[in-house]
Chains A and B, each alone.
Chain A
Amino acid sequence: MGRYVIRRLLQMIPVFVGSTFLIFVMVYALGDPVAALFGERAPDPATAAQIRRDLYLDHPLWQQYTHYMAQIFQGNFGTAFTGQPVLELMGSAWPLTIRLTIVAIIVEAVIGVILGIITGLRRGRSVDTGVLVLTLIVVSIPTFVSGYVLQFLFGVKWGVVNPSVSPAASFDELALPGVVLALVSLAYVTRLTRTSIAENTRADYVRTAVAKGLPRRRVILRHLLRNSLIPVVTFIGTDIGALMGGAIVTERIFNIHGVGYQLYQGILRQNSPTVVGFVTILVIVFLVANLLVDLLYAVLDPRIRYA
């Protein structure tokens, strides 16, 4: 087990280097960001040259990359065009996005699995068809539509919540954005759980458990659900990274100044330190989440062992 984890962690190093380089090249390929700083006015050549020298933009791409990486290992993630260190931006943005993601994951996991169990056990009944149609609708509505609609209904029409999230962004304020962010995944989790449960209700071990005279509740939760969760856990695990990176739209609608917001600003202004820094952390989150999912398999299914 320990050796397995170490091996997986070592594999992350080339992935980390490769992905930072790719992102760096992509932002670089967008062109020179300095002209945009001057707005509609033609850049003053002397000032522009000074800014380029300061940002290390007057060097070829490979030198810029090695310079950037060297700085990262000294704990310096560079600065945004506002003069703010990227590390400071991360410090303010990550906690928000992590909180939003936690809310979304809880919503999608709890509600999704519950709906999945119910529909899986009552296959073909009206509940099943009803939930299926509902998930189909949810999957086909883009986030920006559901976001604006729910924001208007809850925030303006009924006045239940603030339409935008305050800078403090406490968990209760993030409930509505969390639900919006989770909606699409929620539908997938429901469907995955349903299929898996429906498949396993006819499995031998379930029949055995029922024959042993175990209470129905225990059969469902201990035997049926635990064995049916593997595909769902895989999905939720990879979804953590997707939710963090994909929160751009939700964060925009609810005015949450998290990772999505900083990434959007960074891309718009072509500030490579911001984009590369944030995406690098996202890559690490993806890798760690995947590792955790793999380890969770062993917990759920004792037949799986890592050496």
Chain B
Amino acid sequence: MRGPARPKWAVCVVAVVLAATACGGGGRVGGPNAVVRASWGDPQHPLEPANTNEVQGGKVLDMVFRGLKKYDPRTGAAQNWIADSITSPDQQNFTVKVKPGWKFSNGEPVTAHSFVDAWNYGALVTNKQLNSSFFSYIDGYQQVHPGTGNPTAKTMSGLAVKDDRTFTVRLSQKFSTWPDTLGYSAFYPLPRAFFTDHAGWLKKPVGDGPYEIDSYTRGTVMKLRRWDGYTGADKAKNGGVDLQVYTDSNTAYTDLQAGNLDLVDDIPTTQLRNVRKDLGARYINQPAGIIQTIAFPMYQPRWSGGDTQKVRQGISMAIDRASITSRIFRGTRTPATDWTSPVLGPHGGFKAGLCGAVCAYNPAEAKKLIQEGGGLPGGQMKIGYNADTGSHKVWVDAVCNSINNALGNDKACVGAPVGTFADFRNQITGKSETQPFRAGWQMDYPLIQDFLQPLYYTDGSSNDSHWSNTEFDRLVDRANAESDRARAVSEFQDAERILAQQVPAIPLWYQNGNAGYSANLTNVALNQFSVPVYNDITVS
């Protein structure tokens, strides 16, 4: 046997097999009908507007649907889109007029019924829509969505259709900026087909947006194509978008480098070091409406009683946000100086530095304050986080390190991982978390109200600290009843100043949206929700 020849031969077989799979990468033509190939993650829930609460499903809804309002991708301002006008004499009763001529891509006109039926569907408890709480401001929500037991009504009494183009909404409380919330996906209209052939609709959703779904292979790829019957001002400037599901953002990034993908909107942390070198100006890193905080269990007397606010302030001052964001996150986070987000802009309520000295790194003062407040409860604090997703361990350890350095005690702060996200959330909502824990908030709509009321209002839907402050509640109520936008914003900021004194949650940093794209795309941008503005992308 001529031995040595064999291994070479074997290796060659592998090489030949591999070479045979070589796919001619070239041959792509640009132009207005060219298709964008973009990365995607498998949506976690069925693609119903009121049932989609995560970004991957939201991407699709964003392309396939348009609502009464639309947020300007640059300024975040809520503009009338399908709404002709939304008026109210008293900030509680609203009249909505729908523009004529809008259609779903199956030809059905968009009418007042399309909205009212969709909202009633979203609110009804038996439909199990995850975002049903967005309808809770509408009168009659309690009847279709009681806390326990069966609903006593199928539709909300606060909604009434006047004619095909007009409907009225009665809220259960004054809420002046309520019309601005209507750009959120839960408020999108639905065609009749949604109700008559629900299973068929879910396989291939039909909406009224600039794209229609050409084919959808669950868990693999969704092919969206420009809908030529679309009459809105934001017609798609490309032929369509192929959303390809990737399990691993590293693979998507590699595919972008190899020219098999045009757009990735999640740069893996391991590649942040190389991304500027690899992509140059084709790397986008811009603020998104996401803030990360450390929330305190305010239902625990040892964290909320007496002088503990000094402890909470001190912990905040002990965190060196600037070095953590630059070293660990490589500039994809910005140190937070208030409880909102820069994407709101100064008009929308973002105020840099509102947190003041409490959010500035000052280890000496931090140590002093914590001692004055009686020291850390039990001599040690832990920061709870979930270990399964999001690689939180790295920054939690860094935050603890920073606190330990300030206090001169190696064991003052340690991370407390919880195995799964579900378990972590269960501990928080079940009030069994006894130590501070990580919290994050991604805005639903670019309003300062969305950063304050759900999180810090008494019994707010995401008030994980279970913090309650009558003065804060009073200021939020007053701001909601205010008809003048600027005055409402300034009252919300007054409420926010109470957070700076009481610190029920420490603002850490604002999260940016990241994306990278291939050289044949132009006009790529992210909106405030860190989702690419697909319809503006041109392919050359």
Contacts and interface: CB of A to CB of B under 8 A. Distances in A.
A and B pair up: yes
Interface of A: 30-47, 49-51, 54, 81-84, 88-89, 92, 107, 110-111, 114-115, 117-118, 121-122, 127, 131, 148, 151-152, 154-156, 159-164, 167, 172-173, 175-176, 179, 216-217, 220, 251-255, 257, 261, 264-265, 268-270
B42 interface: yes
Nearest to A174: B21
Leading 4 A-B pairs by shortest Cβ distance: A36-B422, A35-B425, A83-B46, A172-B21
7 contacts: A54-B128, A83-B46, A107-B14, A156-B254, A159-B25, A172-B21, A179-B14
A43 B46 contact: no
B219 A92 contact: yes
A179 B4 CA distance: 22
Contacts of A114: 6-7, 10
B55 to A, nearest CB: 10
Contact of A47 (B54, B129, B246): B129
Contact of B44 (A31, A82, A122, A172): A82
A167 B221 contact: yes
Contact of A270 (B17, B43, B420, B441): B420
A34 to B, nearest CB: 8
A164 B253 CA distance: 10
A10 B448 CA distance: 65
Given A164-B246, A164-B251, A270-B422, 9 more contacts: A30-B419, A40-B441, A82-B219, A111-B10, A115-B10, A117-B1, A162-B260, A164-B252, A255-B247
Nearest to A131: B7
Given A39-B53, A115-B10, A161 B18 contact: yes
Contact of B246 (A34, A49, A255): A255
B1 A118 contact: yes
Interface of B: 1, 3-4, 6-7, 10, 13-14, 17-23, 25, 42-46, 53-54, 125-126, 128-130, 132-133, 145-148, 202, 217-221, 245-248, 250-252, 254-255, 257-258, 260, 388-389, 419-423, 425-426, 428-429, 439-442, 454, 461-464
Given A31-B422, A47-B125, A37 B254 contact: no
Nearest to B430: A35
A160 to B, nearest CB: 5
Contact of B251 (A51, A163, A220): A163
A261 B220 CA distance: 11
A251 B14 contact: no
Contact of A44 (B1, B133, B246, B388): B133
Contacts of A163: 251, 254-255, 257-258, 260
Contacts of B252: 164, 255
Contacts of B441: 40
Contacts of A265: 42
Contacts of B1: 117-118, 121, 216-217, 220
